[in-house]
Amino acid sequence: MIEATIATLIIAIILAITFIIGILAYKLRIKVLRVDTYMVAGRALGFVVTFLNMAAVIYSGFAFLGASGWAYAFGAPVLYIWIYGALAYTFAFFFAPRIWEIAKGQGLLTQADFFMWRYGSKLLMVLTALVGITFNIPYGQLQILTTKYVLDLSTYGALPTLHVAVISFVVVMIYVFLGGMVSVAITNVFLGAIMLAAMLGGGLSLIFYYFGGLPGLFAAVELASPKHTYLWAAVGRNSIQWVITAAVGCGLGFWVWPQLAQMVFPAKDAKVLRRSITMTSWYHVLGIIWASLTGLVALGLGMKLAVADHAFLALIRDTFGPVALGFIGAAGMAAALSSAAGIILTQASLLSRNIYQGWIKPGASENEVILVSRLGIVVFTIISVILAYTAPAYIVYLLLVGYTGITQMFPGWVLGSIWKWITREGVLAGLIVGLVVGVLTCFVWPDYLGIHSIIWGLLFNLPITLVVSKLTYRGG
């Protein structure tokens, strides 16, 4: 019981500090609340805030616990997570400053704003806003469930964890509601720093404590389960072709997620943005790699886990006791809640800026847009909470198809920012066909031939976008 009290107390303190920072950021940093302050922090964020805000939103609770669980359950296929992050940062280093320049010059606040500006199409703007909102719904709900997993282990079963997870989620949404991006970004500095310390410190300490380093770890894993050390599956998920296509597909789709677009816009200049992306790539290799290797530590030690995603926290609890567990548990919760904050704010921004102001009521005032954003935060929070309690089966389907669906915006988002001859007809045709093929290769022929559904979608989407654009481009 005393262990549960210590770990729970640490988690509660960190949640309380997060809440206070969020509220103080709103009270002290916002003089006049404008739409651009609420959605992109007035494009005034410096290097440290941009970097840690980006990292905290990117690395969700699922990445924090799921990567080690994946390594524990399957071994080498976890490498796709290492790879796609690395690919995504090399891409963003060259691409993101270009998008930032456009956003700054044209006053864009959301990703869907870009589609309106670039293609002059309300239909495309509303469609991309709806895609961004819909495919993010399961991610909001997932963050509540991840917080529950963290609390299940950290409180040693002493608390009704789903209720506590929901309360934590609502607490975070209060400061998101009030301060928007300013509160999200400043609290994410605190949460992002805790997450990095936990992933690097927790991962390295477990590896060195038990095995003295990576060679010892791999020797133990090869003894316990040799097939975990290489890609052995010939077909289907986790086969070598799946790992390659998943890594490349997710690497391409990474910066297409609307919440990541919205984390790019608040940087105060392109140089700050490049520096932040460089540091986030360091965050990737210093964080997620070592957190995911804890799955192999559990395997090497012969631990029998009922839930693979418990690997990291169960090891910390059994090895270092309740204080360390409280800290790592708080970091896991931080990862979940910081991502949830970014996701819900982005959904609310797409709703108010692109669906309400862009489509339903074009003449809406700044105050109205902020009001609709805040209503959106309330609505999406309620949806996430209801789904967390009821968890209907379709949520799993949305999650499966999420990355595939979002990545189909890649041609319009990326190629459209580079080549002027990409047209709205081409983007629309490619997007619709890519979504249909993506859904089919998710559910009807799942990852057909072991190739990830993202790639199947793009294989149809890209040529259609290019050919239709060539045919419909009129110049100018």
Partner 1 sequence: MSRKTATERRFIAVAAVIWFMLSVVLPVVNRPDVHVVGIPLLWFWVLVWVFAVPILLTIAYYVLEVRP
Residue count of the chain, please give it: 476
Quickly list DSSP for 189-209. Answer: HHHHHHHHHHHHHHHHHHHHH
Q: Give me the residue label for tokens 């869907």.
A: 112
CA dist., res. 289 & res. 297, Å (int): 13
- CB of residue 252 to partner 1, shortest distance in Å: 10
Out of 46, 226, 302, 463, the only residue in the binding site for partner 1 (CB under 8 A) is: 226
Show Cβ contacts of residue 74 under 8 Å, excluding neighbours closer than 6 positions: 228, 238
Asked if residue 212 binds partner 1 (CB under 8 A), the reply is no
Stretch that binds partner 1, among 170-178, 237-245, 253-261, 356-364 (CB under 8 A): 237-245
* Whole-angstrom distance, CA of residue 221 vs CA of residue 14: 35
d(C-alpha 61, C-alpha 333), whole Å: 7
Pick one of 9, 13, 123, 219: the residue that binds partner 1 (CB under 8 A).
219
User: Using the rule CB under 8 A, is 449 a contact of partner 1?
Assistant: no
Cβ contact 106:127 at 8 Å: no
Could you say which residues in the range 78-97 bind partner 1, by CB under 8 A? Answer: 79, 82-83, 85-87, 89-91, 93-94
For the window 10-29, what string marks contact with partner 1 as x by the rule CB under 8 A? --------------------
Indicate whether 182 belongs to the interface with partner 1 (CB under 8 A): no
Show contacts with partner 1 in window 122-151 (CB under 8 A): none
Cβ neighbours, 10 Å, residue 183: 29
Nearer to partner 1 by C-beta: 163 or 271? 271
Query: What residues between 277 and 336 interact with partner 1 by CB under 8 A?
Result: 277-278, 281-282, 284-285, 289
Stretch that binds partner 1, among 150-158, 236-244, 305-313, 314-322 (CB under 8 A): 236-244
Three-state SS letters, 231-269: CCCCCCCCCHHHHHHHHHHHHHHHHHCHHHHHHHCCECC
452 in contact with partner 1 (CB under 8 A): no
Interatomic CA distance for residues 249 and 407, integer angstroms: 8
Q: Which residues contact 131 (CB under 8 A, 6 or more apart)?
A: 405, 406, 408, 409, 435
Residues 32-71: x where in contact with partner 1 by CB under 8 A, - otherwise, as a string? ----------------------------------------
Taking the complex as a whole, how short is the minimal distance between the CB of residue 353 and partner 1, in angstroms? 31
Nearest distance in Å: CB 456, partner 1: 17
Q: Which of 240, 303, 371, 383 binds partner 1 (CB under 8 A)?
A: 240
Applying CB under 8 A, what is the total number of residues that bind partner 1? 38
CB 267 within 8 A of CB 100: yes
Residue 396 has, within 13 A of its CA and on its CB side, a CA count of 5
Chain centroid to CA 437: how far? 24
Applying CB under 8 A, the residues found at the interface with partner 1 are: 76, 79, 82-83, 85-87, 89-91, 93-94, 214-216, 218-219, 222, 226, 229-231, 240, 243-244, 247-248, 251, 271, 274-275, 277-278, 281-282, 284-285, 289
